[in-house]
Structure 1
Amino acid sequence: MSGRFARGVIWNIASLAVMAACGLGLNAIIAAFYGPAVLGSFNQAYAVYILASQIGVLGVNFSTNKYVAEYADNSQELASIVSAALIVALGCSIPIGTSLYYGRHAVGVFLDSPETAIAIGYVAPAVICLSINKVLVHVINGLRRMGLFAVVTGGRYVGIFLSMLALCFFNVSGSSLAFAFLIGEGAALICLLVIVVRIVPLTVCNLRFWVKRHFSFGARVFMSGTLGELNTRLDVLILGAFVSDQLVGIYSLAAMLAEGYHLLANGLAVNLNPIITQRYTQNKLDSLKSMILRGKCYFYLASLLVVGVAVLLFRPLLGVVIDLANYPGAYWVFSIHSCGILVVSGYMPFRKALVQMGFPGLYTLQMLSGVLSNVLLNLMLIPFWGIYGAALATVIAYAVSVLFQRFLVLRSVGIRI
């Protein structure tokens, strides 16, 4: 492991610890002071918000990461790449955020949750901020400034958490808590713009060319990015259509804790993604395969330890913060998620390998396989097993997506991962 890569991993583990603490803190505050029904409506609004921001960025965050990594040594092209990406993100996110705001009541009707509709009204403007922020953090990631990347990524979550604390201090209604996302992402946008522009000055040169390239790449990878986010939120959204906000709250608390594994994998992925691009473009396929296989082994071992400890400590630690009697079944939902994620954990840091190697269309197929199986299994299992069916359906869908990824990488690149 090179010194630069090791430092990047350490930085991002620290950032992940901050993100995990903030995410846990957000849900714990709502769970303890507002109850499972408010937690359920909050997480349904959050799921809609994340999906809308993914649509609003149009895959330009992925193209930004790829092209910035490729042209990191060409300051003139780099300025054009970043400037064009911001134009595309702004132009796409404004109509999406506006549409979400005016369509919030229709979403509330579908989920049978008026409180969720109110919360969506607060997060709709934040969609614009988050879409642009995704582009800006991928600029930093593409340049492999991993220490800075870790700081700004963790800082975004801290801002949202502090905003939530302030709202709770003023005793706002449960449906108004989602306003924390607008405050936090708005502040992050200002900070990120200042930081990125100092590294890569914006320009008006060659914008037309790079806007077209961003659109071209983004259009091909857009659906995969949206499907990827949808795959992590489908369980909450489908569950919301079948059960009460209270049951969704119980489920989302456990599922949110299990998402910590995804954060850990993403912490490695942001370091690995630029390296995957460089080794593939330099035709170092043997080196690329070796890196992936070693990474799988390391992450499987780490995941086994983390999952074992997490399942053992779930009840005693969470019981200190909230009254678990109000969240029956949360432990078993968490255990199902944890065991399922363990099975596929070795592949999680390499989930976007096809994108980084320049196959956005194949990555879309990879994500589509997971989403279709997720939808089908959730619709089949939730009516019979409720929150347990949602958990089981979600982890099976992860496995389907991994199997299809292995097939696609073998067919397109010729390496077995």
Structure 2
Amino acid sequence: MSEASQALQRIARGTGIIFTGTVISMFFGFLSRAVIARYFSTAEYGVFNLALTVLNIALVIATLGFQNALPREVAFYKEREPSRVRDLISTALVIVAVNSLIWTVILFLEAGNISQVFKDARLVHALRIIVFALPFWALIVVMISISRGLGRVREQVYFQNIVYPTVFLVLIVVGAFLKFSFTFVFVAYVVGWSLTFLALAFNVWKIELLKFRPQLNLEIGKKLTLFSIPLMFSGILNFLMTWTDTLMLGYYKSSEVVGIYNAAAPLARLIPIFLASTSVLYVPIASRLYAQEKLKELGRTYQILTKWTFLLTLPLFSMMFLFPEAVIYFLFGAKYVSAAPALQILALGFMFHTFLGLNGLSLVVIGQPKLNMIGDTFAVISNVLLNVLLIPEYGIVGAAIATAVSYFVANVFRSLWLYQRTKIHPFSWNYVKPLVISFVLLGLIQSLHLRVPSIWYAIPVLAVFLGVYFFLVLLSRSVDKEDVELFLAIEKKLGVDLKIIKKILRRFV
């Protein structure tokens, strides 16, 4: 078995667990948003999203990009300087703890000025409550990033994906049932993250996962910060690419428009769910391959992983792209259906991000985080300019176009630079064939202009589409030997004998 196949199997084993946790997190997250959207007005739902946007940007600054750097750095230190791993962990936690407290104070004091930008006085009160979640959230993110670098996924799945969403959902449902005021939403947010932090800290202490003394190693801290700063700016730029539409809709339009748009935006962000799941273990595993100078194996791992991610993502994308009205009506109700065109456009942008694979994280793996930052800068500039030009006239549709274009620009830059530095790209012939088949079938169905009254009518149509699609993929012989090896490993892991599927594969491989 090739080293690429072994790497893929290790990633696949962890991805299954991560995906399950991510689905639970997304499901509970959407339930929480649905309760808030239905129980409160669209304007209040808009204020909630604006406050969350500000806090997300603050999180990236407070963590200094460590959440993206530590999985790579811990894996490298473990490979080359294992004796310094403890100092790395301690230094990272101390820096983030201090920095997050500083930014909590800054945001609390500047809440009034921030709210004036969006011309909504209600945002002041919201920010001055929700900002207290920042230190807890920042430390959770860093602790989980360290555990990822050690090759573990348990902490992310249990605490970030299950404990926090469950606690927040329970609090929101209780608040809605007891008819608490809108302020309770933000109190629940802080309580949710603080309880999650306490649970994670107790677990880490109990199993002695992160053995360290509270100390600051200046040498390690300097190296880590210099490597992470471009990632911090990339993180800010990524949030701007994702949230500039929300921020500028709040500036040009109203909180009500922001609320309507944010029925579509969170749905579209579901599309990279498989990509995000594979990324958790991809970074430490790919980092080890790169450290051993095995670029060929790294490239093959990248290609097969990208193809699997695309195939797994296609059903979700197809549902949102082909039947946006039915999806929004089912999840958020009739008053948000006007966001359907925006969902369709955003789905295209996030799917383009998915089908090129983990290009940005691969640049981090090869030690080129600055290239991510440069590409993201061009993307954000195009995003802001397009939002300025399109939102005043086209509203949420203009905002969706701006975001989709920014993702296109960012991913083109990342992929070009990755290929230039390493010759790594996702386009094997057995990946191009499924891409062409999907484009043709989606175009044919879209040209029929099907009008489905509900999601229950859309599901059978989608099932037929996917059945035809996967049959054509097999007929085109788009299955690689690594695909078969990965399938057999999954079969063994599940402890079942998938005779029918293996019989079908033998006919087409």
Fold shared by both chains (TM-score > 0.5): yes
Q: 2:77 maps to what in 1? A: 71
Residue by residue over 1:50-89, the C-alpha shift from the partner in whole angstroms, topping out at 9 and shown as x without a partner, is: 0011111111222322221123366642221111100110
Is 1:234 aligned to residue 244 of structure 2?
Answer: yes
Residue by residue over 1:213-261, the C-alpha shift from the partner in whole angstroms, topping out at 9 and shown as x without a partner, is: 2222222322112212222111111111011111110001111111111
Residue 257 (structure 2) aligned to one of 210, 233, 247? 247
- Look up the SS of the partner of 2:271 in the other structure: helix
Residues 321 and 348 in structure 2, CA contact (< 8 A), matched pair in contact too: no
Residue 150 (structure 1) aligned to one of 152, 157, 168? 157
Residues 160 and 180 in structure 1, CA contact (< 8 A), matched pair in contact too: yes
Q: Tell me: higher relative CO, structure 1 or 2? Use CA pairs within 8 A at least 6 residues apart.
A: 1
Q: 1:186 maps to what in 2? A: 194
Amino acid at match of 2:43: A
Structure 1 pair 168/350, CA: closer, same or farther in 2 (3 Å)? farther
Q: Distance in 1 between matches of 2:415 and 2:348?
A: 21
- Look up the SS of the partner of 1:252 in the other structure: helix
Cα deviation, residue 313, structure 1 = 5.6
Q: 1:280 maps to what in 2? A: 290
Structure 1 pair 385/98, CA: closer, same or farther in 2 (3 Å)? same
Q: Distance in 1 between matches of 2:152 and 2:234?
A: 26
Aligned ranges 1:307-326 → 2 under 5 Å: 307-311=317-321, 314-316=324-326, 318-320=328-330, 322-324=332-334, 326=335
Residue 143 (structure 2) aligned to one of 117, 136, 148? 136
Cα deviation, residue 316, structure 1 = 4.1
Q: 1:97 maps to what in 2? A: 104
Is 1:396 aligned to residue 402 of structure 2?
Answer: no
Q: 1:342 maps to what in 2? A: 351
Cα deviation, residue 210, structure 1 = 2.0
Q: 1:50 maps to what in 2? A: 56
Q: Distance in 2 between matches of 1:164 and 1:348?
A: 36
Q: 1:411 maps to what in 2? A: 420
Is 1:209 aligned to residue 215 of structure 2?
Answer: no
Q: 1:172 maps to what in 2? A: 180
Residues 71 and 78 in structure 1, CA contact (< 8 A), matched pair in contact too: yes
Q: Distance in 1 between matches of 2:423 and 2:359?
A: 16
Q: 2:13 maps to what in 1? A: 7
Is 1:381 aligned to residue 390 of structure 2?
Answer: yes
Structure 1 pair 167/294, CA: closer, same or farther in 2 (3 Å)? same
- Look up the SS of the partner of 1:106 in the other structure: helix
Q: Distance in 1 between matches of 2:320 and 2:118?
A: 31
Gaps of 5+ in 1: none
Cα deviation, residue 40, structure 1 = 0.8
Residues 50 and 229 in structure 1, CA contact (< 8 A), matched pair in contact too: yes
Q: Distance in 2 between matches of 1:376 and 1:53?
A: 25
Residues 263 and 328 in structure 2, CA contact (< 8 A), matched pair in contact too: no
Q: Distance in 2 between matches of 1:26 and 1:367?
A: 31
Residues 116 and 175 in structure 1, CA contact (< 8 A), matched pair in contact too: no
Cα deviation, residue 204, structure 1 = 5.2
Cα deviation, residue 369, structure 1 = 2.1
Q: Distance in 1 between matches of 2:255 and 2:78?
A: 47
Residue 109 (structure 1) aligned to one of 86, 91, 116? 116
Structure 1 pair 108/205, CA: closer, same or farther in 2 (3 Å)? closer
Q: What TM-score do you get using the length of structure 2 for normalisation? A: 0.77
Q: Which moved more, 1:128-137 or 1:347-356?
A: 347-356
Residue by residue over 1:28-64, the C-alpha shift from the partner in whole angstroms, topping out at 9 and shown as x without a partner, is: 1011111211111110111001001111111122232
Residues 375 and 414 in structure 2, CA contact (< 8 A), matched pair in contact too: yes
Amino acid at match of 2:346: H
Q: Distance in 1 between matches of 2:89 and 2:416?
A: 34
Aligned Cα root-mean-square deviation (Å): 2.1
Residue by residue over 1:244-302, the C-alpha shift from the partner in whole angstroms, topping out at 9 and shown as x without a partner, is: 11111000111111111133321111121112211212111111111222222222222
Q: Which moved more, 1:77-86 or 1:140-149?
A: 140-149
Q: 2:43 maps to what in 1? A: 37
Residue 369 (structure 1) aligned to one of 364, 369, 378? 378
Q: Distance in 2 between matches of 1:204 and 1:187?
A: 22
Amino acid at match of 1:46: L
Residues 22 and 157 in structure 1, CA contact (< 8 A), matched pair in contact too: yes
- Look up the SS of the partner of 1:261 in the other structure: coil
Cα deviation, residue 165, structure 1 = 2.5
Amino acid at match of 1:172: F
Q: Distance in 2 between matches of 1:206 and 1:112?
A: 42
Q: 2:316 maps to what in 1? A: 306
Q: Distance in 2 between matches of 1:68 and 1:338?
A: 34
- Look up the SS of the partner of 1:257 in the other structure: helix
Residue by residue over 1:126-169, the C-alpha shift from the partner in whole angstroms, topping out at 9 and shown as x without a partner, is: 11111111101101111111244322221222232223223333
Q: Distance in 2 between matches of 1:158 and 1:348?
A: 30
Q: Distance in 1 between matches of 2:394 and 2:221?
A: 48
Residues 82 and 202 in structure 1, CA contact (< 8 A), matched pair in contact too: yes
Larger radius of gyration, structure 1 or 2?
2
